[in-house]
Structure 1
Amino acid sequence: MPKLHVILASTRPGRAGEPIADWFVSRAREHGAFDVELLDLADIALPMMDEPNHPRLRRYEHQHTKDWSATINAADAVVMVTPEYNYGYPAPLKNAIDYLHFEWQHKPVAFVSYGGVAAGTRAVQQLKQVVTTLKMFPLFEAVSIPFHTQFIDDEGVLQANDVMEGAASAMLDELVLVEESLRGRRAAVREAEAAGKH
């Protein structure tokens, strides 16, 4: 079964991203097409980029980078759960992306965003520019949650509406198709690397 890594971008105490990510992880597991793992950047706690070599070289000196590399390398597809901060996405997410290069390549990526009236969509537009540089394939399908606090109940649980549920289903269905279509390319690149040709 292909692996889907769901990255929780916000590290702010009291963040709304936690119940949103928990809902999406549960939804993705119910979908049944992926082995789903949540990667919480607050728990992973990568320092600001501290590797002396360019990520393309993969000459990592620190154990936290080696661990992050192995985690992302194992993913077949990625979903980023992100808020919008001042028309952009959180610095911890950019930092986590920039640690690596090869490990992201030829993987589909989709977005669950949240915020005010724009529902985090401006942050996603910025992210699409970044991930395509890494040869990732961002999906059109997305879950965009406007005025997200109205959907989080007194127990801190997201109560998704029909629009959010439908968007999650469409996004997961498309992730299945794109992941499958890219699987051969990822395998070929890794074979070439193992043979010393890449």
Structure 2
Amino acid sequence: MPDRILVFYGSYRRDRMGIRLADFIVAGLSARGAEVELIDAKALALPMLDRMYKEYPSGSAPQALEELAKKIKAADAFVFVTGEYNWGMQPGLKNLTDHFLEEWFWRPAAVASYSAGRIAGARAAVAWHGTLSEMGMIVVSSNLAVGLIAETLDEQAKPLGDAGLALERAFPRFADDLTWWLAAAKLQRAHKDPPY
């Protein structure tokens, strides 16, 4: 059975560029044999957090939350693709993530960040590490950080020039780190029930 990986992307901007990185990651993980799905916060259009999924009586959560909860629970690992807004997280991606808690537990997560400038979303990536860890995920140490996103990937998520080559060289370590922890967590969950 292939590894099931969800790739989360959260920009709501009209001319969003980070979708290129999300598509690149989906293609790269799929090429390695994983079953990968892109979860686009803008397409889901979840409301601002009022109630977490678990706070709804059973069977009464909005359909989008019910469907996403099932996908998260069935996944083996997650990738969070994030831009950086004023040194912080994208609100759309954070809002999506906060609708859930126990659904995330005991699975690895990786962070890929980007920006239009040279900082490559690094400050948002740091913020995501602590948040995802608090939400019960094993956050892998390898990050993808893409600065000058428009000069790194074209509209079809194909690498461009030297920056694209650097991204192609960095991706295998990122994917290897995530899939190593995915295999370890899957084996442990099969061997022993999580403690909570």
TM-score by length of 1: 0.86
Corresponding residue for residue 118 of structure 1: 119
How many Å separate the matches in 2 of 1:56 and 1:113?
29
Corresponding residue for residue 95 of structure 2: 95
The alignment status of 1:173 with 2:176, answered yes or no, reads yes
How many Å separate the matches in 2 of 1:50 and 1:186?
31
Given residue 14 of structure 2, which amino acid in structure 1 is its aligned partner?
A: P
Corresponding residue for residue 68 of structure 2: 68
Given residue 178 of structure 1, which amino acid in structure 2 is its aligned partner?
A: W
Bigger drift between 161-170 and 119-128 goes to: 161-170
Change (3 A) 1:179 1:152: closer
SS of equivalent residue, structure 2 residue 118: coil
Identity %: 28
The alignment status of 1:164 with 2:171, answered yes or no, reads no
CA contact under 8 A between 1:6 and 1:80: conserved in structure 2? yes
Structure 2 gaps, min length 5: none
CA contact under 8 A between 2:5 and 2:79: conserved in structure 1? yes
* Alpha-carbon distance, 1:57 to partner: 5.8
Q: Which deviations, in whole Å up to 9, do the C-alpha atoms of 1:125-158 show, x marking residues without a partner?
A: 00111111112011111111011121244xx233
Q: Which deviations, in whole Å up to 9, do the C-alpha atoms of 1:44-77 show, x marking residues without a partner?
A: 11111132xx656674642232222112111110
CA-based RMSD of the aligned residues comes to 2.0
Q: Point out 4+ residue stretches in structure 1 off by more than 6 angstroms.
A: none
How many Å separate the matches in 2 of 1:85 and 1:31?
32
SS of equivalent residue, structure 1 residue 158: coil
Given residue 156 of structure 2, which amino acid in structure 1 is its aligned partner?
A: V
TM-score by length of 2: 0.86
SS of equivalent residue, structure 1 residue 157: coil
CA contact under 8 A between 1:55 and 1:99: conserved in structure 2? yes
